[in-house]
Amino acid sequence: MSDPTADSATFSEREIALNVWLQNHVGVNEVRRIVREDPDSILISKFEPGFAPGLHTMLDELPQLFDSAEIAIAYSAVASADESATALRVDVWDQAMRRLLATLSAQRGIEDDRQALIRVGIDSVRAILDSALWSVPLISDDYEPQAGEIAAFRDVTSSMSPDHDLFTRHYGLFEDLDVVNHCPGAPFARLMLGQAWQVCTDIAPPE
């Protein structure tokens, strides 16, 4: 783990103690900073101050990433390029989103290190989609999601809310306060997950 004690100007004594607790009791090896504290909880983040506003500003510059028509076009382009038609639908979505991100970013002068913040979100959504579409459908398959896949997607998304979902981690109690790590891109990831399901299955996300 990066040592928060190495820069006392960056980390408060409380943050140092919290990071030691995270490492010893939870196994979190990346340094976290305290974003907000209230009588019940401590919100922590591995990102620098200003990350969340910066991420949201960047995503506001790329509305096509969340435009169903644009996603469908990008998906079809990748699928059409696979002459053997043996690509997995989830792979096609993944490649389509990365290409769309790269193309839009080039048009808007968005650097690769900023794009990487969105690629992390694509990775997270990909992992969830893989777990739900366990029949690993190909683009060539005459495919409808199986009942078990629909149930798996519902299970994954049933507990999602702005404050508690797959993109939120609860690490336990530190000094009787719930330690919570919440991804600032979670609202976008939830939207991306629903659109990924739809383009891969041709049906609306199960509710």
Tens digit of each residue's pLDDT (9 = 90 or more) over 123-133: 989 999 999 99
Q: Phi, psi at residue 29, to the nearest 5°?
A: -105, -5
Instruction: Report DSSP letters for 105-117, one per residue.
Output: HHHHT--HHHHHH
Other CB atoms closer than 10 Å to residue 198's CB: what's the count?
16
Strands 168-174 and 41-45: unpaired
Express each pLDDT in 138-188 by its tens digit.
999 999 999 999 999 988 777 555 555 566 788 999 999 999 887 777 778
Q: What is the DSSP string of 86-107?
A: --BHHHHHHHHHHHHHHHHHHH
CB 148 within 8 A of CB 134: yes
Nearest Cα to 183, choosing from 160, 149, 199, 205? 160
